[in-house]
Amino acid sequence: MSAPHDIAAQARRRRVRRVLNAVLLGMAVGAYTLGALASRVGDNDDVLPVPLEALLLGAAFAFSALPVGGAILARGLIPIPTLLLFLSVFLGRTEPLPFAAAFALALVHAIALTALSTTLAERPHNALLGSRR
């Protein structure tokens, strides 16, 4: 049995780890998006400078992956920009994908990022508190 102060310290460490995970994965998402956007050719009518778009998506992902109340708002914002950005990636290549395929792949990216952020933001299960689950 852990003493109460141990449990509090464990919970604090767990919180820090989750925040760190979210930030690191946000950086990875930003990096991945930056690379994907840079692989396009020609003018793609971007609303913002490409690095800023990647940075914003990474930051939104990191925030949406945090176990805090406001994260649900960020999670609601992620899918549409992700879909649009990656649609431009797949249609803006040297050899563009057919629209249906590009749309499907962009949708997969949007769903994957949203699902991953939802999973990361979930509050701890009993298993983390030492139960048998």
Partner 1 sequence: MSAVAPSLERFAGTWRAGFGVVARLIRNHDVALVVLAAMLGAAVGVGVVVLEALVQLVHESAFAIAPGGHLSAAPALAWWRALLVPAAGGLVAGLAAALIRRWRPHEIVDAIEANALYGGRMSLRDSVNLAFLTVIASGFGASVGLEAGYTQLGAGFASWAGQRLRLRRSDLRTLVGCGAAAAIAAAFNAPLAGAFYAFELVIGTYSPLVLAPISMAALTGALTARQWLGDQAIFGADMASVSITGLDYVLFAVLGAIAAAIGIAAMVGVTRIERALRRQRVSSWLRPSLGGIAVGILAVTFPQVLGSGHGAIQLVLEGGLSGSVLVGLVAAKGLASALSVGTGFRGGLFSSSLLLGSVFGAAAVLGLEAVLGRIGLVPDGLDYVAYTLVGMGAMAAAIIGAPLTMIFLVLELTGSFPASLGVMVGVIVASVTVRLTFGYSFATWRFHVRGVPISGAHDVGWMAELTVETLMQRDAPMAPVDVTVGEFRRRFPLGGADRVFLIDDEKRYAGMVLSADLHSADLDANREEKAAAHRGAVGHFLLPQQSVRAALDRFAAAEADELPVVDNPRDLRVVGALSEADALRRYTQALERARAEELGERTLFGPE
Query: Of 108 and 128, which CB lies nearer to partner 1 in the complex structure?
Result: 108
Determine contact, residues 110/82, Cβ cutoff 8 Å.
yes
DSSP secondary structure letters along 80-98? HHHHHHHHHHHHSSSSPPP
Q: How far is the CB of 107 from partner 1 (least distance, A)?
A: 11
Q: How far is the CB of 121 from partner 1 (least distance, A)?
A: 15
Q: How far is the CB of 129 from partner 1 (least distance, A)?
A: 17
Greatest extent of the chain over all pairs of C-alpha atoms, in Å:
63
Q: How far is the CB of 39 from partner 1 (least distance, A)?
A: 6
Query: Of 4 and 126, which CB lies nearer to partner 1 in the complex structure?
Result: 126
User: Cα(16)–Cα(8) distance, rounded to whole angstroms?
Assistant: 12
Binding residues for partner 1 (CB under 8 A) = 24, 28-29, 31-39, 50-51, 89-90, 93, 95, 97, 101, 105, 108-109
User: Cα(127)–Cα(133) distance, rounded to whole angstroms?
Assistant: 5
Query: Of 39 and 44, which CB lies nearer to partner 1 in the complex structure?
Result: 39
| Residue 102: closest CA among 113, 111, 93 | 93
Query: Of 93 and 118, which CB lies nearer to partner 1 in the complex structure?
Result: 93
- Encoded amino acid at 81, one letter: P
